[in-house]
Amino acid sequence: MDAPSQATPQDVTVADRSFWHQDEGLLASIGCRLETAVRWFTDVRAKILIVIGGLTLVVVSGMLLDSYGTVNDVNGGPMVRLWMLPLWLCSFVHLLMLFISVANNCTHACPTSPLRHAKSSDSLGPYRLHHRIGSGGMGDVYLAEHTFLERKCAIKLIRPERADKISRARFEREVRAAARLAHVNIVTIYDGGRTIDGTFYYAMEFLDGMNLDDLVQQHGPLPTARVVYLVAQMCSGLSEAHRLGLIHRDVKPANIFMTVQGGKWDVVKLLDFGLVKPIVDATSLTLNGMVTGSPFYLSPEQATGKRLADQRSDIYSLGAVMYFLLTNRPPFCDEQTLQLLLAHVHRQPTAISEFNNDVSMELEATVLKCLAKHVDDRFSSAADLVEALHACPEWGEWDAVAAAEWWQAKLVNAF
């Protein structure tokens, strides 16, 4: 999902201005451990153990010193030392174990470090983490709940091993870009920030359903009318992003989620804006010559890197998604990434009608226009694509009622 990145001079400047400084993260981490240590020491049980261990050590040490002062005593001063030495060692080990316990608590029980295996007791600000529900190129996603609002949500955290400056800058850009988008077909961002130990996160709406990749893998090619119905919603979401000057650059079935909202089924949500980029962006977070996006669904210009991606690049990817939904296979299925890239640039996909006889000529022509090699031969906007879909005979044959019936039938069969 994430392309390798290179820090150009402009990138370093942007990254250095970010709040992701390594030194700040180190200081925050030390502060977290000190905070945990103080909290542990103020615990009643810790006080009791420390007092008992300390008094025992002091008393036994005093007796040992006293016995050393009577080393020439004929009443057995050396014997006193031998009696006291095991007690002194036990007391010393007791306190040593206490300090080891504190160290372990500071390292592993920091309440603001949720990157370990999440439990129901883990918290992240006002959110209570439950369990991991997904994983992406830059971070993991956890099911969570806002403790005050009692509202379910999904929280995405950046992975420590991906915490270089460029990936952190990309993660930060994803949050801010998605937060700018307010649309029914784009996942809603509730909150975002950084924990005391430097972990960056954002909270988004929790979606109950499945992505289109899983849907097709489980149920095969979708009815043509349903594909038209879903793609029209995708176009609506992308139109909003393009209106704000943002290009998704990673449109693929796994990043398109189907959920139920307000009692309405088959509501599409666009996910994962980690590769989103302004149409005019002087700062590149991508290596020259490297691809951005998923090889099965990326546009020819993304494959070659000869020109900047624009909204027509998203149109190409959307056409590849339509091809997949109708045939249960992407336009090109080469196993080698290089062969896939060359196919997007030079080869024509196999006719959809060879895999699905139910596809109308108008719908197939619409998909193929999306997949045109040259950007000028594609639809110029998502709105133009919707107009073409409206002219297909499948338009209007699928709606929320048909979607509800389909899902209810699947749920009944599941039990």
Selection from 18, 209, 198 nearest residue 110 by Cα: 198
Rounded to an integer, the average pLDDT of 210-220 is 95
Rounded to an integer, the average pLDDT of 198-204 is 82
Which helix (H) or strand (E) is 365 found in, with range? helix 361-370
Per-residue pLDDT, 46: 55
Residues 6+ apart with CB under 8 A from 139: 156, 157, 158, 159, 162, 171
Per-residue pLDDT, 382: 97
Q: Name the catalytic one among 2, 11, 197, 250.
A: 250
Using an 8 Å Cβ cutoff, are 153 and 146 in contact? yes
Q: Report DSSP state, residue 188.
A: P
**Number of Cβ within a 10 Å radius of residue 364:** 19
Using an 8 Å Cβ cutoff, are 274 and 176 in contact? no
Per-residue pLDDT, 401: 94
Min mean pLDDT across 112-126, 149-163, 306-320, 331-345 is at 112-126
The pLDDT mean for the chain works out to 76
For residue 171 the two structure tokens come to 């993660």
Which amino acid belongs to residue 22?
Q
For residue 256 the two structure tokens come to 């398109």
DSSP string, 45-79: HHHHHHHHHHHHHHHHHHHHHHHHHTTT-TTTHHH
Which helix (H) or strand (E) is 146 found in, with range? strand 139-146
Is pLDDT of 372 > 80?
yes
250 given a catalytic annotation:
yes
Band of residue 296 on the pLDDT scale cut at 50, 70, 90: very high
Per-residue pLDDT, 82: 59
Rounded to an integer, the average pLDDT of 193-211 is 84
Per-residue pLDDT, 48: 63
Is pLDDT of 321 > 50?
yes
Selection from 354, 365, 255 nearest residue 314 by Cα: 255
Q: What is the rounded CA–CA span in Å between residue 305 and residue 154?
A: 34
Per-residue pLDDT, 18: 35
Whole-angstrom CA distances from 32 to 54, 99, 102, 188 are: 26, 17, 13, 30
Min mean pLDDT across 115-129, 261-275, 316-330, 336-350 is at 115-129
Per-residue pLDDT, 144: 94
Using an 8 Å Cβ cutoff, are 292 and 3 in contact? yes
Per-residue pLDDT, 70: 47
Is pLDDT of 215 > 50?
yes
Strand partners, 229: none
Rounded to an integer, the average pLDDT of 381-405 is 96
* pLDDT tens-place string over residues 299-318: 999 999 888 889 999 999 99
DSSP string, 288-357: TT---S-TTT--HHHHH-SS---HHHHHHHHHHHHHHHHHSS-S---SSHHHHHHHHHHPPPPPGGGT-T
Band of residue 173 on the pLDDT scale cut at 50, 70, 90: confident
Q: What is the rounded CA–CA span in Å between residue 266 and residue 233?
A: 10
Rounded to an integer, the average pLDDT of 107-121 is 44
Q: What is the rounded CA–CA span in Å between residue 212 and residue 203?
A: 22
Strand partners, 182: none
Name the more confident of 47 and 198: 198
Using an 8 Å Cβ cutoff, are 47 and 98 in contact? no
Half-sphere exposure of 153 (CA within 13 A, CB side): 25
